[in-house]
Every structure is written in C-alpha cells, then in structure tokens.
A and B are shown apart, each in its own frame.
Chain A
Amino acid sequence: MNLELSEVQIAIVENKLTKMGLDYLPLKSEYLDHICCQIETELGEGQTFEQAIYVVFEAITKDELKELQQQTILFTNQKSRRMKKLLFVFTCSLVFMTGGLFFLKGEKNIASVQLPSPEMMAENSEASFLSKKNLKICKEDFFIEMNSKNQAITAQDPPDISPLNKDFKMSSGFGMRTHPQFKEKKFHKGIDFMAPTGTPVLATANGIIFKTKESESGYGHHIIIKHDEQFSTLYAHLKDIMVSEGQAVQKGAVIGTVGSSGASSSPHLHYEVIKKGKRVNPMAYCKP
C-alpha cells in the first residue's frame, strides 16, 4: 500500500484547510505538510484515506486554526519591533546620561496622577488596582524593557480607531451620568457601545496585553492593553477574551468579543482610554 499522499489527495486536504480559513501563506504550505504527515501516519496504521482524513480533521477546530494563524502572524511581526526596541534602548541610555532626569520625571508623574472618581464599588477596587499598577510601571518601565524579550514597550501612535468594526450606537458617553444599574450619579469613565453578543472587539493601537481578567462583577471579563508610556486602553464586559497577558497585539487585531459580563444589563462594550493613569474621553481617540 502506498503511504504517500497523491497530488489529488493533497489538493483535497489543502482545499479543506482553505475552507477552514487558513490563508496566511508563510504558514499554509507548512501546515499542509504537517496535516499530510498526520494523515500518512494514519494510513500507516491501516486506515483508508477517507478514515484518516476524518480522524485528523476531527481533531482540528476552526477556532484553533484561526488562533494558530493569528499567533503566528503576531510573532512574525515582532521582527520590526526588535529594531524599535534597539532604538528605545538607545534613547533610554541617552536619557540616563542626562543625569537620571527620567526618574525625576517619573516621580513627578506619580505625584500628579490622581485616582479617577470610582464609578461603582466593584470598579473602585479595579480602578485603584489599575492606577497602582500604572504607577509601578511608570517607574519600572525601564527595567521591564531590559528584562523581557520581545515585549519592548516603545512609543506608539495613540489609539485612533473605534474598538468595534462597524458603527454601533453609543449608549452612554464619557462624563457624569446616572448609572443604569445603581441609579446613582457617577462619573462614567469610558464610553459604551451597544453591540450584539459576539461582535469582534479590536485593539485600537499596537501594544502589549497588560491584563486579562474574567471577573464576574464590575468590569466583567476585561482586557487592558498597554500601548506605550502614556496610553492604555480598557475593554470591558466581554464574552470571550482571545489574548493572553504579555502578548503583543497589532492595531485592529481581534482581542475578544462583545458580551454582558460583570455589572452589565445588556450586551455592550465599555471602552476606556487611559492617558498617564487618567481616564480621558475615548471619543477624542476614535476617528470616524
């Protein structure tokens, strides 16, 4: 029995992979080879081609394949990040030479940062946690840069796109409002977009996933991306979180889906832009 796949058989496998959404070329031929190898192994164990293809494809889900592809693209894109990192280290050494101004400035930043007035009890602990973490990073950024490979946080363009692909109705703006659940006047630290459950949520600028948390109160399932020294963005009440802490993401990458987790009464995305530890109006950072 011939254990090597014929051209026709390979074409069948390739067709199946394409249908499942594999379209990133540097990965495609390689993955095709991988799957063909698996099928050939099955053939070696006495299965027919039809049985083998069934067994192998049963073990792959569309989502896994998508995830694999997304991860591969992300990692490959980090090549250019290395150059940026070098540049960053160079800049930092310059700053060091000018007499540790960097740290003085960092201290000043810390002093001027004020905790935003908390929206609700659950978010309160979250907010102070976030701000504390931010402060810590202000000071230690430099060392984080040196320690972690591939995770250089270099200056980025500020977030400038909407976190949702299409235009969705904004149900609640930035600023004072009566909280829909708690019926109290509170400061709303971000903006809410009404969107159906499962709508993809996009990273609004390049950055590193700073935090992912599956909380059942407050922000619910949420993600914080650190873009650079200045900017972070927060995406709350998600259904799915599709990234993990420490991962690099590109602007426009899907990081999760809209849901109604935490203190939320209907599916929506709560989006915050944090500039130097302070909440700012995200509308100013969403180009139409």
Chain B
Amino acid sequence: MLAKQLIKGTLTTIILKLLDEHGKMYGYEITQHVKTISEDQLVLTEGALYPTLHKLEAEGLVRTKKMIVGKRTRKYYSLTAKGKKATVHKLAEFQAFINTMQLILKPKTSSS
C-alpha cells in the first residue's frame, strides 16, 4: 500500500478524474474503482473519501443527486461545469508534477 502522505495530496485529483470518466458515481463505487484500477495499491478509506466529497460539493465542483436503489437511498456525485474545468487544471498540474519528479528521480545517464 502506498504511503498515506503521498495519497493525501492527490485525493482530489483522483476523485475528479474518476467522476469525469464515469459521469456519476457513489462513494462505495469510487473506493472500489480506485482499488481495482490501482491493483490494490491504493486503498481509499471512507475517512478520507467522504470529507473530500463533501468539500468538493461545498466548493461547487460536484453536484449530488439522491436516488432510491433497492431499499436504500444512494447519493450520486457528478461534476459541475466548474468541476470539469478544475479537473483539467488539476490533471495538468499533476502531470507537470510527475514530470518534475521524474527529472529528479531519473538516474543520471553518463554523457561520457
């Protein structure tokens, strides 16, 4: 499992990206997706997920819709227009970060 600290900063990006890909998702679905895609490397706990989702909602990046599924109410999250923009921005930002990290971590190829 990856270090908590590493995940923390990328949580918003991960959630936004998933919502962008799937349209609408509910909490449990997000955790399962993350788990599957990352081949069990990344486990998104409820303690991290729900506060972030509610924060994104308060910021107006996602909207929610409650639906009755079977015998329960399920809350679905989807991106707002503002959220879509933020996703593009966040992904670009993160990609730039990865590139920088690679520059730092890449073993020096001896030029001689």
Residue ranges of A at the interface with B (Cβ–Cβ < 8 Å): 4-7, 10, 26-27, 29-34, 36-38, 64, 67-68, 71-72, 74-79, 82, 149-150
Contacts and interface: CB of A to CB of B under 8 A. Distances in A.
B31 to A, nearest CB: 8
B46 A31 contact: yes
Interface of A is mostly: helix
Contacts of B85: none
7 contacts: A10-B71, A30-B27, A37-B28, A68-B46, A68-B50, A74-B51, A75-B58
Interface string B54-71: 110111000000100011
Contacts of B70: 4-5
Given A34-B28, A34-B46, A64-B47, A27 B71 contact: no
A76 B75 contact: no
Interface of B is mostly: helix
Interface of B: 26-28, 31, 46-47, 50-52, 54-55, 57-59, 66, 70-75
A38 B46 CA distance: 11
B74 to A, nearest CB: 5
Contact of A75 (B31, B51, B66): B51
Given A30-B50, A71-B47, A75-B54, 15 more contacts: A10-B72, A26-B54, A27-B50, A29-B73, A29-B75, A31-B46, A32-B72, A33-B74, A34-B31, A34-B46, A67-B47, A68-B51, A72-B51, A78-B58, A78-B59
A268 B46 CA distance: 34
A76 B28 contact: no
